[in-house]
Structure 1
Amino acid sequence: MRKRIIKLVLNKIFQFLLVMFLLSLIVFYMARLSPGDPLKSYYGESVERMSIAQQEAAMERLGLDEPIYLQYTKWIENAAAGDFGISFKYKQDVMKVIGDVYENTLILGGLAYILNFGLALLLGVFCALHEEEWIDRIICKIGVVTNCIPAFFISLVFILIFGVNLAILPTSGAYSIGQSQNIMDRLVHLILPLAVLVLGHLWYYTYMVRNKLLEETRQDYVLLCKVKGLSKRQIMWKHCLKNIMPSFISIMAISIPHILGGTYVVEKVFSYPGLGTLSFESAQFHDYNMLLVLCLITGAVVVTANITAQIINEIIDPRMKYERGDLQ
């Protein structure tokens, strides 16, 4: 058993490192082969007044004059030593810029994650208890509609209503000027982005919880519980919900990239200073080093979530191990 666990861990680590290497290679080449001028990102409009000789010297200073494979080799060597380069746009170390804003993404994405799954669980149980009743049908119809509306469109509608017409909620930033330590001010700035993230994802997970619970209510043991005199609510909360929790936890693990992607889009629309806004800016301004590191961070989160979900599924259903030949 110990050897199998070590083998499994080493296998997952190898998969993770391989994916990270391939991701870095693909992003590195795609970024540098894409049209655009990285000098403009670093020097701004002054690059247009440079002579050809000055532009060539600038390319050499930034290490962009060598063949791409040599640039990648040097980047790998520096990254292994903890140096991920400087941001062309911010003229600072890439990790320093990311370190200033990553907490904002963690707060927004983390709260969205907790609210989505917490509310999905409660709403899914409620809909299952009232299957095919008028309240269940209304919630289902509203959920289908909100799930089909793109997040950026909901964001613009909220900005128009609550920020422009009613002017009761802030529509940009993570906090007001000089209020970075004010928790209430931060919470007020989170209301609209969080509302969009919840509306855009909630029904998807609620629908899965609802259907899982309804499948459980049709099992034989539910009939036995009814014979014993248990009410519908008791059966749902004590038995059905308990039986779907392993699947629910697996869904939570594999859905991290889904929530993260939505967070990135919402950050950009609301000008919320986080990793999502940085990602769009780095792609827009050809900030190669920043774009590469952000892609690796995002990729690491996605791969880790998928590996975690796979491990959870194997624990839930040991047959997966037999299919792969991990167990004798």
Structure 2
Amino acid sequence: MNLRNKIKLESLINKIIIVLISVFLLSLITFFMSRLAPGDPLASYYGDRVERMSTAERMHAYERLGLDGPIIGQYFKWLKAALSGDFGISFKYKQNVMTVIAGRLLNTLLLGGIGFVITFGLALLLAVACAYRENSLADRIICRIGTITSCIPEFWLSLVLILFFAVMWHLLPSSGAYAIGRANDIGSRIEHLILPLIVVVMSHLWYYAYMLRNKLLEEIRQEYVLLARAKGISKRNVMWKHCVRNLMPTMIAIMAISMNHILEGTYIVEMVFSYPGIGTLSFESAKYHDYNMLMVLTVITGIVVIIGNIIGQTISEKIDQRMKAQDKMKDLMEIVSHREMMDDASK
């Protein structure tokens, strides 16, 4: 194994260790905070019957659900079962945790995934449009409108859309992922996705569009762009074939880091629209002290966020290395040019 491969292997191992330690700490903190929060988890599992239980019955119920003994002992008991693939049952739904999550996961993937793609697709187009006509009237108007829309809270925008499109105009549904009995109807799913998608996209679009716009403006001011323009290459071709192409690594890094930002917004939108996804499930698990469900959802979300940040950091490191290499090359060219000028002067 050569030195480069050895360094890559060590870097990969270090990142895996970081992920494992981060997930362990996240699960530990979540476990302790959920157990110490006020409320009775037996109410989620037994409902009103818990009020009629005797002391002996309550103790038996705690033991059955794994809630007896010291908290640290409960944690390692849960961790041992989780490592073997047993995540327990949901107190609220009386089913295996993974079964409940599997039924909601597709809905969140549709809303979050489509919203993610649309957000960055439109952000790139807006960034190119603004950078292409920097400081023009259109650029200033887009910047002002984008700044205003990015400051609107997601829950408020959701309520406004529900008021107009669902309550007043009866054009679109206000809740759910599909109409009753039409889970396989693509048209019904699209109809229920429109309002939540608008909120997800509008809440994040300008934040990333403005970031990409500034990066593009930096790229436009590079020397190679001036050289290309001097050679007669049109501004449009330079923008798309060179500037946007060089922006792609930076954009991918931003996309990786932004997973937690858009994921958080998706969860909020799901709760407002009563959209049956992972976000709504997370809220319910915290509200009803559904410990097993809350643990799995927190760990899954944490893994997605941590891995996204590591991917973004890795890409950023490669970009920085490329930029450092370019700077070193410029310095070297300046030194060579200076020496040639000195030689010419001495002659």
**Under TM normalisation by the shorter chain, which class is it?**
over 0.9
- 2:225 pairs with 216, 222, 225, which one? 222
After the TM superposition, which residues 4-23 of structure 1 pair with which residues of structure 2 at under 5 Å, given as runs? 4-23=7-26
Q: Which moved more, 1:139-148 or 1:241-250?
A: 241-250
Equivalent residue number for residue 333 of structure 2? none
- 1:197 pairs with 197, 200, 206, which one? 200
Q: State the SS of the aligned residue for 1:193.
A: helix
Contact 1:173 1:270 in 2 (8 A): yes
1:309 aligns with 2:319: no
Equivalent residue number for residue 93 of structure 1? 96
Equivalent residue number for residue 85 of structure 2? 82
Equivalent residue number for residue 326 of structure 1? none
Q: State the SS of the aligned residue for 1:309.
A: helix
Residue 231 of structure 1, CA deviation: 2.2
CA deviations 1:20-68 (Å, max 9, x no partner) are: 1111111001100111110111111221222222222211211212111
Give 1:16's aligned amino acid: V
Equivalent residue number for residue 40 of structure 2? 37
Residue 247 of structure 1, CA deviation: 0.8
Q: Which moved more, 1:295-304 or 1:6-15?
A: 6-15
Distance 1:277 1:320, change over 3 A: farther
Residues in 2 aligned to 1:272 and 1:65: alpha-carbon distance in whole angstroms: 35
CA deviations 1:245-300 (Å, max 9, x no partner) are: 11111111111111111111101111111110000000000000100100000000
Q: State the SS of the aligned residue for 1:37.
A: coil
1:257 aligns with 2:226: no
Aligned-pair identity (%): 61
- 1:267 pairs with 266, 270, 276, which one? 270
Equivalent residue number for residue 176 of structure 1? 179
TM-score computed with the length of structure 1 as normaliser: 0.95
Distance 1:33 1:319, change over 3 A: farther
**How many residue pairs align between the two structures?**
322
Equivalent residue number for residue 248 of structure 1? 251
Residues in 1 aligned to 2:63 and 2:248: alpha-carbon distance in whole angstroms: 57
Equivalent residue number for residue 147 of structure 1? 150
1:158 aligns with 2:161: yes
Residues in 2 aligned to 1:2 and 1:185: alpha-carbon distance in whole angstroms: 51
**Gaps in structure 2 of 5+ consecutive residues:** 326-347
**Gaps in structure 1 of 5+ consecutive residues:** 323-328
Q: State the SS of the aligned residue for 1:318.
A: helix
- 2:212 pairs with 209, 213, 230, which one? 209
Residue 315 of structure 1, CA deviation: 2.1
CA deviations 1:282-328 (Å, max 9, x no partner) are: 00000001001000000000011011111111222228999xxxxxx
Residues in 2 aligned to 1:321 and 1:305: alpha-carbon distance in whole angstroms: 24
Residues in 2 aligned to 1:116 and 1:13: alpha-carbon distance in whole angstroms: 30
Equivalent residue number for residue 298 of structure 1? 301
Deviating beyond 4 angstroms after TM superposition, the runs of 4 or more aligned structure 1 residues are 319-322
Residues in 2 aligned to 1:321 and 1:223: alpha-carbon distance in whole angstroms: 21
Distance 1:256 1:321, change over 3 A: farther
Give 1:5's aligned amino acid: K
Equivalent residue number for residue 76 of structure 2? 73
Larger Rg: 2
Residues in 2 aligned to 1:301 and 1:155: alpha-carbon distance in whole angstroms: 25
Q: Which moved more, 1:24-33 or 1:238-247?
A: 238-247
CA deviations 1:173-213 (Å, max 9, x no partner) are: 11111111111110111000000001000000110111111
Residues in 2 aligned to 1:102 and 1:321: alpha-carbon distance in whole angstroms: 42
TM-score computed with the length of structure 2 as normaliser: 0.90
Distance 1:18 1:114, change over 3 A: same
Residues in 1 aligned to 2:136 and 2:239: alpha-carbon distance in whole angstroms: 17
CA deviations 1:46-96 (Å, max 9, x no partner) are: 212222222222112112121111111111111111001110000111111
Contact 1:314 1:321 in 2 (8 A): no
1:63 aligns with 2:85: no
Distance 1:196 1:64, change over 3 A: same
RMSD: 1.5
Equivalent residue number for residue 321 of structure 2? 318
Equivalent residue number for residue 117 of structure 1? 120
